[in-house]
Chains A and B, each alone.
Chain A
Amino acid sequence: MVACRAIGILGRFSAFRILRSRGYICRNFTESSALLTRTHINYGVKGDVAVIRINSPNSKVNTLNKELHSEFIEVMNEIWASDQIRSAVLISSKPGCFIAGADINMLAACKTPQEVTQISQEAQRTFEKLEKSTKPVVAILQSHGDTLAVSCQYRIATKDRKTVLGTPEVLLGILPGAGGTQRLPKMVGVPAAFDMMLTGRNIRADRAKKMGLVDQLVEPLGPGLKPPEERTIEYLEEVAITFAKGLADKKISPKRDKGLVEKLTAYAMTIPFVRQQVYKKVEEKVRKQTKGLYPAPLKIIDVVKTGIEQGSDAGYLSESQKFGELAMTKESKALMGLYHGQVLCKKNKFGAPQKDVKHLAILGAGLMGAGIAQVSVDKGLKTLLKDATLTGLGRGQQQVFKGLNDKVKKKALTSFERDSIFSNLTGQLDYQGFEKADMVIEAVFEDLSLKHRVLKEVEAVIPDHCVFASNTSALPISEIAAVSKRPEKVIGMHYFSPVDKMQLLEIITTEKTSKDTSASAVAVGLKQGKVIIVVKDGPGFYTTRCLAPMMSEVIRILQEGVDPKKLDSLTTSFGFPVGAATLVDEVGVDVAKHVAEDLGKAFGERFGGGNPELLTQMVSKGFLGRKSGKGFYIYQEGVKNKNLNSDMDSILASLKIPPKSEVSSDEDIQFRLVTSFVNEAVMCLQEGILATPAEGDIGAVFGLGFPPCLGGPFCFVDLYGAQKLVDRLKKYEAAYGKQFTPCQLLADHANSPNKKFYQ
């Protein structure tokens, strides 16, 4: 629940998700083909239509790198020069993938903005030539389309859920740098183009057709005389060729009939005053949402504006320059780092488990249990959901159904698919069927003795190979495993709430956990669509442990008399998706108190900071946060603007401590929170709780809402400078003591400036 919004943004990274090619076998060209062998691109001629096939060797996707680019120019020049060829079809020979976009590594290798600008300008020139081609070019899109396709005369896309179009560049802190900012507004209208480029949102094929992004849809074919994927590509090619011929013969017009609303919008956009208003509105919205922390969206607006107001030459120039500038920003480096980290955390480093988990059992149909059930049945896992009471079970089943039904409303599922997915779920009050379970995930109340009881009960009924996973946010797994007959099969799986929205899964291994158990847990998590970090057992593991000192600091700041609203705005303006005080309310004051007590015991003075008495008093008054309607704020159904809970005044007054003026500026307050977080994260790496900095960054951003523009705590240390951070920590240490003592690893990094977490 914490970082839901940030994750909403980052979730769309999946725009870059690489699709596995399914054993595609290279076809022999039966048609007369220009037999010049190129590495990435080849083409053959069918009648008077050139069929250009893009297929980068040794790669799952085609990325727009330098070689591909130059080969593409070569091929196009040949086609333009040929008398025989009257039109062309452009297709990727990798099923389910067109061109996955610009090569990130190519951008990362550039040292100066000028280099990047140059890359952009080359691409711009090519695409402009393509756009103005006298011979029509039909692009075939499967899965992801991009600017290359947009510059073709006609686009044909496969109509399935895998096919998404969009301009995800903004999510990497850059902009569509090959003319996209100039072409899209003309194609789909200015407002829609802004929406696409500023959100990076994925657009499904049918929506893209309505918007005018694609001209024809082709539904994928089922089995025939060869594998469906292979035949579908062939069929797409056949269809595309008929359209290419039609376009060349002028039997088909590449222009689309626009709807009334579209025509009106287009007309309105010809009025300068309306345009100015649109720019202003969009800019205001962007500023409000990004709080000025992300430069890319503002530059995109700027570039689009330049193109429309000053002509496309100026637009192209501005696009390439801004592209160069953006690629060099810290924000872009941070976001690209997260992208790489996410790719890493989508792999199972333990290899394939010996036995695939097919039957899953979940104990406890609460918010977490039902959430886990939902993401499991969704992916075809047969799931038993057990609860102690019929009411509790019913609530959980309803939650799963509602989650699936919401997808139906968004047209991501049909009602029939919903029903058949829902039939994977069996709700029950007893242990019937547990003898077939391959994995049990318990999500019962966070109480060690209860977890012990459940573990013993379950071990009596499950088969030998069955993994027992505990979903807990703070109880050490080794303590839970202490009563197990088979501790090698016990593991921690820490999900984040709401499970269906939060992408992170923190898997906790104890010293006794076997490798196969870990492999099994990661495999299940990946199946559930999670981004996974694997950490060692310890109090609070990684995520909860990092959050604890920051929360403690939140209490101290409040005790020092900072208004919760002020605190919230300080944290959100630093880039956190949710304000610190709101975060406590969202997590639940009782949970926070629980964690604070547990970790306070484990880590002692270091986790001191604020007085946990504040939480204790809140709990005793029933101010449990959002769930009880009152916390630092008052929550009412249907009321958007939440008000401060005035009853908190007396509690805060009774625990008030004088602020220390030397560390109480707005910036200091922000840094007190962030440095305590970062310091603890680095300590987790130092202690071996974390295996890699990348996992630490992914965990912090995806699980806790650490500002994505900073790239996670480790990326932040690299970009901000370890020395500067240590200086700040020392300043706070002088004021407050041990909580801010920089850990050894951080100090090492400060001492040798060449040391970086990411080399």
Chain B
Amino acid sequence: MTAILTYAFKNLPTTSKWALKFSIRPLSCSSQLRAAPAVQTKTKKTLAKPNIRNIVVVDGVRTPFLLSGTSYKDLMPHDVARAALTGLLHRTSVPKEVVDYIIFGTVIQEVKTSNVAREAALGAGFSDKTPAHTVTMACISANQAMTTGVGLIASGQCDVVVAGGVELMSDIPIRHSRKMRKLMLDLNKAKSVGQRLSVISKFRLNFLAPELPAVAEFSTSETMGHSADRLAAAFAVSRLEQDEYALRSHSLAKKAQDEGLLSDVVPFKVPGKDTVTKDNGIRPSSLEQMAKLKPAFIRPYGTVTAANSSFLTDGASAMLIMAEEKALAMGYKPKAYLRDFMYVSQDPKDQLLLGPTYATPKVLEKAGLTMNDIDAFEFHEAFSGQILANFKAMDSDWFAQNYMGRKTKIGLPPLEKFNNWGGSLSLGHPFGATGCRLVMAAANRLRKEGGQYGLVAACAAGGQGHAMIVEAYPK
């Protein structure tokens, strides 16, 4: 008992120093560490499996991710999605008629374009003979779009799939109240003037109160930020640690942006506005500034603030996925393989955001890899507190034994391989589009930094989670 206590205690300052160190010199891992992956031999040479088609990412793009309410604010979701699709067409020059299928993920649906994949594809000039559908799985919707495409290709139904995701938080469907809707529908059915009057007479002023889309978990009525704050408290993650991690994310993103590493971003000429060329949510601040903020969810003593949470974001992403032989036949040089993936789910109340902890060991075991085999980690950062809580969970034997049915802990992902080009905290998080960004970041990092395997993981509302292995395509 005491051991755990003192352990937690000791751990506090250590992790914070870490985070701080890396926030200052993000890529300057010691020579030893850098040398390590090169020398290290992988558990497996490749994850290719006999008699199963290899599936590759030819390339992927995204629109700049913008704070909601900025340049995209007058657009509709399919407009942003279309920008990603045209960007992909431009980047890959894929002949439109080759595309067998288009899948998009989205979370808050615009009711007019509920199958936003189809509306965007038609507008982007894809063939009207290419079917399209939209999937939703909270923050892992784009992941679901990709893996759905993987399934279609692996089963031989398709050879070429476009997967992507879009979210436009600048505009959300705010509805009339149920009572008002009922009244309006009744009015629609009323035939005579008398009937109409009798329906109208039922009107009350409170019918006009609007109904906002729920920001809370439907099953528990708890907002995600609130749950994240409790999660951070459960794992004894301090406010300082969270602020330090957020600062790291922003500093790394800024550096990546400045060095031009975010090559998946394509410019977007917004009608009536200037061309948007880069993400606008990256704002490295100082710990002093961040410390001044009041808690956003659990007031007045919580630890999750606006500065250490991901912000509401507009944006879209798209990716061209093919069967390897098709890509090669078309003369492409693919960027990466999409390998084993895993979906998990757990208690939506107390473990809402622990998806990565649960999904990581499972996908590694499935692929036959270990943590040491992974050269690039790309985890979705919903909140600093969430990432750090996942770290502590992955680093805890007690948690592994009591909640995951494992004998030992999973182990920490080495921070020097973790979200090196920023993450959702700094780049932004358009719910439906983040999955593709994670995969492209992993693929691009493997090419740039060298290395073979990338691990993508994310948590999602509903207590769900996802992880996937990305394997670099041999140069």
Hey, which bits of chain A sit against chain B, CB under 8 A? 25, 27-28, 30, 216, 218-219, 221-226, 228, 231, 235, 239, 242-243, 414, 416
- Please name all residues of chain B whose beta carbon is closer than 8 Å to the beta carbon of A414 when the two chains form the complex: 220-221
Task: Give me 8 A-to-B residue pairs in the complex whose CB atoms sit less than 8 angstroms apart, sorted by A's number.
Answer: A218-B301, A222-B347, A223-B234, A224-B399, A225-B4, A225-B234, A225-B399, A231-B233
CA distance A508 to B392 in the complex (A): 54
B6 touches A (CB below 8 Å): yes
Distance to closest chain A CB from B393 (angstroms): 8
B219 in contact with A416 (CB, 8 Å): yes
- Please name all residues of chain A whose beta carbon is closer than 8 Å to the beta carbon of B114 when the two chains form the complex: none
Given A228-B350, A416-B219, A416-B220: A25 in contact with B1 (beta carbons within 8 A): yes
B2 touches A (CB below 8 Å): yes
Cβ proximity bits B204-227 to A, threshold 8 Å, 1 near / 0 not:
000000000000001111000010
Distance to closest chain A CB from B355 (angstroms): 14
B329 touches A (CB below 8 Å): no
Which residue of chain B has the shortest Cβ distance to A28 in the bound complex? B2
CA distance A361 to B311 in the complex (A): 51
B199 touches A (CB below 8 Å): no
Mostly, the B contact residues are helix
CA distance A226 to B3 in the complex (A): 11
CA distance A243 to B6 in the complex (A): 24
- Please name all residues of chain A whose beta carbon is closer than 8 Å to the beta carbon of B2 when the two chains form the complex: 27-28, 30
B235 touches A (CB below 8 Å): yes
Distance to closest chain B CB from A398 (angstroms): 22
- Please name all residues of chain A whose beta carbon is closer than 8 Å to the beta carbon of B396 when the two chains form the complex: 225
A221 in contact with B403 (CB, 8 Å): no
Additional A-B contact list (20), CB under 8 Å, known A28-B1, A221-B350: A28-B2, A216-B301, A221-B230, A221-B233, A222-B234, A222-B347, A222-B351, A223-B351, A223-B399, A224-B231, A224-B233, A225-B4, A225-B236, A225-B398, A225-B399, A235-B233, A414-B220, A414-B221, A416-B218, A416-B219
B402 touches A (CB below 8 Å): yes
- Please name all residues of chain B whose beta carbon is closer than 8 Å to the beta carbon of A216 when the two chains form the complex: 301
> Looking at the complex, which one of A27, A30, A225 makes contact with B392 (CB distance below 8 Å)?
A225
B231 in contact with A222 (CB, 8 Å): yes
Report the tally of A-B residue pairs with Cβ distances under 8 A. Answer: 69
| Those 9 A-B pairs whose CB atoms lie nearest each other, nearest first | A222-B350, A224-B234, A221-B234, A224-B235, A416-B219, A28-B2, A239-B301, A235-B233, A225-B396
Cβ proximity bits B400-424 to A, threshold 8 Å, 1 near / 0 not:
0011000000000000000000000
B47 touches A (CB below 8 Å): no
B301 in contact with A242 (CB, 8 Å): yes
- Please name all residues of chain B whose beta carbon is closer than 8 Å to the beta carbon of A239 when the two chains form the complex: 301
A228 in contact with B234 (CB, 8 Å): yes
CA distance A25 to B402 in the complex (A): 17
CA distance A414 to B347 in the complex (A): 16
- Please name all residues of chain A whose beta carbon is closer than 8 Å to the beta carbon of B298 when the two chains form the complex: 219
- Please name all residues of chain B whose beta carbon is closer than 8 Å to the beta carbon of A219 when the two chains form the complex: 226, 230, 298
CA distance A228 to B399 in the complex (A): 11
- Please name all residues of chain B whose beta carbon is closer than 8 Å to the beta carbon of A416 when the two chains form the complex: 218-221
Specify which of A27, A218, A226, A239 lies most central, judged by the most chain B CB atoms within 10 Å of its CB.
Answer: A226
- Please name all residues of chain B whose beta carbon is closer than 8 Å to the beta carbon of A224 when the two chains form the complex: 231, 233-236, 389, 392-393, 399
B330 touches A (CB below 8 Å): no
CA distance A586 to B399 in the complex (A): 56
- Please name all residues of chain B whose beta carbon is closer than 8 Å to the beta carbon of A30 when the two chains form the complex: 2, 5-6, 9
- Please name all residues of chain A whose beta carbon is closer than 8 Å to the beta carbon of B226 when the two chains form the complex: 219
Which residue of chain A has the shortest Cβ distance to B396 in the bound complex? A225
Specify which of B2, B230, B231, B393 lies most central, judged by the most chain A CB atoms within 10 Å of its CB.
Answer: B230
Given A30-B5, A30-B6: A222 in contact with B218 (beta carbons within 8 A): no
Which residue of chain A has the shortest Cβ distance to B349 in the bound complex? A222
A223 in contact with B403 (CB, 8 Å): yes
A226 in contact with B398 (CB, 8 Å): yes
Distance to closest chain A CB from B28 (angstroms): 31
Distance to closest chain B CB from A332 (angstroms): 42
- Please name all residues of chain A whose beta carbon is closer than 8 Å to the beta carbon of B233 when the two chains form the complex: 221, 224, 231, 235
> Looking at the complex, which one of A25, A28, A222, A243 makes contact with B230 (CB distance below 8 Å)?
A222
B4 in contact with A226 (CB, 8 Å): yes
CA distance A414 to B2 in the complex (A): 38
- Please name all residues of chain A whose beta carbon is closer than 8 Å to the beta carbon of B393 when the two chains form the complex: 224
Specify which of B1, B226, B301, B392 lies most central, judged by the most chain A CB atoms within 10 Å of its CB.
Answer: B301
B8 touches A (CB below 8 Å): yes
Which residue of chain A has the shortest Cβ distance to B2 in the bound complex? A28
Distance to closest chain B CB from A55 (angstroms): 15
CA distance A216 to B235 in the complex (A): 21
CA distance A25 to B3 in the complex (A): 13
CA distance A223 to B347 in the complex (A): 11
B residues 288-315 in Cβ contact with A at 8 Å: 298, 301
CA distance A718 to B230 in the complex (A): 54
CA distance A142 to B393 in the complex (A): 27
> Looking at the complex, which one of B8, B220, B350, B351 makes contact with A225 (CB distance below 8 Å)?
B8
Distance to closest chain B CB from A370 (angstroms): 26
B residues 373-404 in Cβ contact with A at 8 Å: 389, 392-393, 396, 398-399, 402-403
Distance to closest chain B CB from A156 (angstroms): 9
CA distance A228 to B230 in the complex (A): 11
Distance to closest chain A CB from B226 (angstroms): 8
Distance to closest chain B CB from A739 (angstroms): 59
B5 in contact with A223 (CB, 8 Å): no
Distance to closest chain A CB from B267 (angstroms): 44
Distance to closest chain A CB from B363 (angstroms): 22
Distance to closest chain A CB from B402 (angstroms): 7
Which residue of chain A has the shortest Cβ distance to B234 in the bound complex? A224
CA distance A242 to B347 in the complex (A): 30
CA distance A225 to B395 in the complex (A): 10
CA distance A231 to B1 in the complex (A): 12
Distance to closest chain B CB from A369 (angstroms): 30
Which residue of chain A has the shortest Cβ distance to B397 in the bound complex? A225
